[in-house]
Copies of this chain bind each other. A is one copy, B any other.
Amino acid sequence: MTLKNTYKNIINLIKDDFIMESCTKCGNPNVIIKRKASGQALCKDCFIKSIEKKVIQTIKKENFIEKGDKVLVALSGGKDSVVTLEILNSYAERHIIELCAVTIDEGIAGYREEGVEIAKAHAKRLGIPHKVVSFKESFGIDLDEIMARDDHRGSCTYCGVFRRWIINRAAREFKATKIATGHNLDDETQAILMNYLEGNTENLAKIGPKTESKSELFTVKIKPLREIPEKEIGLYALAKGLDIHLAACPYAQESFRMEVSNILKDLTKEHPTIMYSTLRGFDKIRPAIRQELAHDYEFDRCKRCGEPSSNKLCRACTFLEELGK
């Protein structure tokens, strides 16, 4: 997708926020966003600075990185992962951390190719070590092949499990000390609200800014964009002129997450701070929930692939056996 198409898509996403007002910070009349939550109107430069400042604040507050960390970015080529890479690169430029990236090719014809190319171009531009790993080479089968079968469990079920498997392994191969994912405020509040509604307190105890598994077999995962709304990430990418992959996955289905996403989007129209307040409230009760409900599973290694697993076979290998691979 070219930058022009990207532009059209993002304008559509944020059109409610366009207004005629000058920048609250510097007076520049070319305002690109009016934040309903804070009342701030911002020009391009001040908007870019505000996003970077907020992400850096989150990184500090949550102790996401330490000097000397090697951070692996899970880089799909979509706006969230590209922006994660871009902002973390400012730490790499100042030699605080080292960066590397992995892109997963699930094997979805007509969709994934563009994301892979965009991811490669960003890694090359920033001089970051980058691997593309496919489902096919890892598991002997790709998502299109799985979805052509009659007995599949739904695309997202495989995709989530197989991607996590590849990312965990890539982190060890790169000797990464952290894995950064592009989860944004929308993703995080959707997960929280889904689990509130489903009463799934065990999952609720697992949500948070970073994974805190005591097992050394897992690399700690961090979410630098956790407090940034999805549409502001899109606007940041546009304002910085970053090429991003905007196509939607052809296998995306109506799901409970989508219903919850629509509920939050609708509520945000009249209550612009609702996603922030949901996240803050959750973060306040999170320590209590976690202490009460989080289980530290004993992790051993999967008998088939050697990856960490609380059962004899990890979920990826369970699926692969089902698929006869």
Contact = CB atoms under 8 A, between A and B. Distances in A.
Interface of A: 192-193, 195-201, 204, 256, 259, 263, 267, 270-271, 274, 276-282, 284-285, 287-289, 291-293
Nearest to A270: B259
A196 B271 contact: no
Nearest to A205: B285
A259 B267 CA distance: 8
Contacts of A277: 197-200
Given A263-B263, A267-B259, A199 B288 contact: no
Given A288-B292, A289-B288, A292-B288, A199 B271 contact: no
Most chain B C-beta atoms within 10 Å of own C-beta, residue among A274, A279, A292 = A292
Contact of A282 (B199, B287, B291): B199
A160 to B, nearest CB: 21
A199 B281 contact: yes
A293 B289 contact: no
A276 B197 CA distance: 9
Nearest to A201: B284
B193 A278 contact: no
Given A193-B196, A263-B263, A285 B289 contact: yes
A204 B281 CA distance: 10
The SS class assigned to the A binding surface is: helix
Contacts of A270: 259
A279 B196 contact: no
16 contacts: A192-B196, A195-B281, A196-B196, A196-B278, A196-B281, A196-B282, A197-B274, A199-B277, A199-B278, A199-B282, A200-B281, A204-B281, A256-B271, A285-B288, A288-B291, A289-B289
A280 B202 CA distance: 12
Contacts of A271: 197, 256
A197 B285 contact: no
Given A288-B288, A288-B291, A289-B285, A197 B280 contact: no
Contacts of A195: 281
B199 A284 contact: yes
A199 B281 CA distance: 4
A309 to B, nearest CB: 27
A278 B204 CA distance: 12
Q: Which 6 A-B pairs have the closest CB atoms?
A: A199-B281, A199-B277, A288-B288, A288-B292, A199-B280, A201-B284
A134 B193 CA distance: 41
Contacts of A285: 201, 204, 285, 288-289, 292-293
Given A204-B281, A281-B204, A197 B288 contact: no
A195 to B, nearest CB: 7
A72 B291 CA distance: 38
Contacts of A256: 271
A319 to B, nearest CB: 26
A198 B280 CA distance: 9
